[in-house]
């Protein structure tokens, strides 16, 4: 085990330079940000779908209030409308997942497998070793 790591699962592979560990760590951090963006995209998908679903109630309430004109406009102009040309949100999510996201995630794994022996968070594990105070409570290297 490399003395700079907290455990074997996060040890720097032989021959991996500081620059390489940093680059792979930054790529992994970028993937973490993309995961958050993906979550926001799914949130957009669900919130938009939920808002669209509420329109049925709006139309019904407007009709009960004698506002047929507005109910009709919502039915014909808004319900069923694409959120971007030709697409509902489920299509946007699918295209993102099958395109950019899959390639990004796949390349991050390939590079990590090829350069870090598949180990995740090598950069962070070394940072943990540098920042912890051995012997202090809650500063253990491993559980």
Question: pLDDT tens track of the chain, all 143 residues?
Answer: 455 667 889 999 999 999 999 999 999 999 999 999 999 999 999 999 999 999 999 999 999 999 999 999 999 999 999 999 999 999 999 999 999 999 999 999 999 999 999 999 999 999 999 999 988 999 888 88
- Rounded to the nearest angstrom, the gap between the alpha carbon of residue 35 and the centroid of all alpha carbons in its chain is 1
Nearest-CA neighbor of 124 among 58, 35, 27?
27
Task: Note the pTM of the prediction, 2 decimals.
Answer: 0.85
Question: Tokens for 72?
Answer: 């009709």
Task: Report the sign of the C-alpha dihedral through residues 129, 132, 136, 140, in that order.
Answer: negative
């Amino acid at each position: 085990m490399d003395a700079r790591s907290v455990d074997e699962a996060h040890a720097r592979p032989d021959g991996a330079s500081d620059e390489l560990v940093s680059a792979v760590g930054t790529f992994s951090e970028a993937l973490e940000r993309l995961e958050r963006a993906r979550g926001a995209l799914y949130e957009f998908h669900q919130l938009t779908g939920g808002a669209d679903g509420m329109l049925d109630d709006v139309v019904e309430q407007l009709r009960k209030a004698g506002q047929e004109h507005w109910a009709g406009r919502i039915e014909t102009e808004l319900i069923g409308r694409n959120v971007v040309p030709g697409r509902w949100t489920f299509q946007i999510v699918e295209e993102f997942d099958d395109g950019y996201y899959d390639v990004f995630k796949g390349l991050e794994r390939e590079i990590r497998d090829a350069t870090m022996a598949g180990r995740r968070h090598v950069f962070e594990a070394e940072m943990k070793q540098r920042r912890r105070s051995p012997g202090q409570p809650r500063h253990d290297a491993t559980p």
